[in-house]
Structure 1
Amino acid sequence: MIEFSNYDIIRNLIFAAQWTVLLSLVAFIGGTLVALVLTALRLTRNSILQKLVAVYIELFQGTPLLMQMFLCFFGVSLLGYEISAWSAAILALTLFTSAFLVEIWRGCIDTLPKGQWEASRCLGMSFLQILRYIILPQALRVAIAPTVGFSVQVVKGTALASVIGFVELTKAGTMLNNATFEPFKVFAMVAVIYFLLCYPLSLSSKILEKKFNVSR
């Protein structure tokens, strides 16, 4: 058994936590960009595009993120393309994140009065102009709190990247446990670090909700 001091364990976990944060940021930004496009497509009057977006959402919301990780990592390799664990984790988390953000934002947009769409069209505004100047500025106030709140799920979802070999916080904890045979101490530290990452996001979501008076 390799001797590890508490300092050694914490130092290694903090280093791995940096990869967890980076993976979360990249996946959340990627998911946001994809979700913006999908939300715009879903708001169009084209029924085919609406159905395609609906299928996309049902697919990635209705299947486990773990399975999506496996498919992105092993499935792409079977097609003849080599993909790293880092790239597969980003791809899976981006698809997963975008599917949920589309539904969150659609619900926020649906809270706005329907008459604003008709009034804007009567003024001769195009679809993109209506989104940019009328709908999105109002929907943003409603959407920002649940969007920040969902980022907690993205951070916790990065733990599943350990199953495809990506060394983030959970994988580092498993490796340290195998080396020290002290599961309670190691995973207690892992849990504390996850809490320190997620709690500020949850708290920020509650503060933003109160600030923008979403309930009103």
Structure 2
Amino acid sequence: MRLKPTQQADFKNFVLNLKANRPEALHEFIRTVRRCAMVGINDYRITPQDFEDIVQETVWAVYRKICQPEFHLDVPLEHYINKTLFYKKMDYRRKRAYYQTSMTHFIEEFEMHYEGRIKKTQGFSMLKEDLAETKRAAQILSEFELEILEYLIEEWTPNEIASELGIPAKRVYNAIYRLRKKLKGRLLQNKEIH
């Protein structure tokens, strides 16, 4: 049986056979959809698997349309097939564009996260180097000066430190002066070495 949509009586018989789920009509219908798809979907970006999916979705959509009571027999079957193929192809392109966009965003987010981790790691290693240098510099500090340095790192004012330790503020200021002098001398030494 060869489907010829120009002959109205053959088309009506074909639709009746298709609604009755006759195997010959179903095979002919699938062949017709595939033939129309080969002509209508000539896009090299569509993979063979996606092409098969589009054909199957078109077969199902047109078959459901044919089985509806308001199906018009005066409209050629190729019209329904081509129209459905067009929309399926547009859906495929939209999904593909959405997928590519979402993948691009995912990759960009991953890159930003990865760069952030690298910067954090580099910052951490620099911090470790600075801490090691501070420890080396701290070897030249007295125990009292180290205690004052800890308070300064925690952003205490000299008057607060003096109040906390129960010592005169002048003694704290003198310790800060010695700290600056010793650390500045150590930094200048390192600068000359590097």
Bucket of the pairwise TM-score, normalised by the shorter protein: under 0.3
Larger Rg: 2
Q: TM-score, normalised by structure 2?
A: 0.24
Q: TM-score, normalised by structure 1?
A: 0.22
Higher RCO (C-alpha under 8 Å, 6+ residues apart):
1
